[in-house]
Amino acid sequence: MTTLAASPGISQTASALRRLYFTRFAFAIVWALVTIATAKEIGPLTVVLFVLYPLFDVGAAIYDLRSSRTTGSPTLLYVNIAVSLITAVGVGVACASGIPAVLRVWGAWAIVAGLVQLIVGVTRRKMAGQWPMIISGGISVLAGGSFIAGASADNPSLTNAAGYAIPGAIFFLIAAIRLSRSAKGN
């Protein structure tokens, strides 16, 4: 009986996901550092950064979809693409209403995207490197709830929303490293 990781399709998918996860790690770290440093108030750069992140997620989901035809659930990746596109528009509009509106949109996106990430990770769990994605998806759901709750605070801040990318980045790095075995076909 062959293992899932020994399948050529799985090996190619694991290799592509490994590259994607390393790229997502690097993007998220840089985005978080720049955003934390500049997101004290909503200015043009803050708007661009908060719209850029879900758009990057769209690109990553499209790459994932094209790379992983042999694994996972393509329907969920399409859902992620649609939700992230709506979020990019929603964040752009919410920026005109202030930080609480941005936090509500960002929180709703974190919840939905986290659920999608969690479910996709579960469907791929036989491939190495998916437990970090499952955990990260769960954390995203919890973080999204905290952003929505934080929107009602006396002095809401975008700093936590920006910092949210750092744990996700670390989980992408861990998943990329763990995928090395599947990428080699072992």
pTM, two decimals, is 0.84
Residue 185 domain flag: no
- Please name the residues in contact with 62: beta carbons below 8 A apart, sequence gap of 6 or more: 81
Which pLDDT belongs to residue 128? 61
Q: Residues 68-77: pLDDT tens digits?
A: 765 556 888 8
Which pLDDT belongs to residue 15? 84
How far apart, in whole angstroms, are the C-alpha atoms of residue 39 and residue 51?
13
Residue 184 domain flag: no
Residue 89 domain flag: yes
What is the number of domains present in the chain?
1
Q: Which residue has the tokens 């999608």?
A: 116
Which pLDDT belongs to residue 75? 85
Which pLDDT belongs to residue 92? 97
Over residues 81-109, mean pLDDT: 97
In the predicted model, is pLDDT for residue 165 greater than 80?
yes
What is the CA angle 157-94-135, rounded to 5? 60
Q: Residues 107-121: pLDDT tens digits?
A: 999 999 999 888 888
Residue 75 domain flag: yes
Q: How distant, in Å, are the alpha carbons of 26, 30, 144, 174 from that of 20?
A: 10, 15, 23, 12
Question: Domain of 151?
Answer: 4-179
Of the CA atoms within 13 Å of residue 135, those in its CB half-sphere come to: 12
Name the average pLDDT for the chain. Answer: 86
Direct distance between the N- and C-terminal alpha carbons of the chain, in angstroms, rounded to an integer: 14
In this structure, of 12-16, 67-71, 129-133, the range with the lowest mean pLDDT score is 67-71
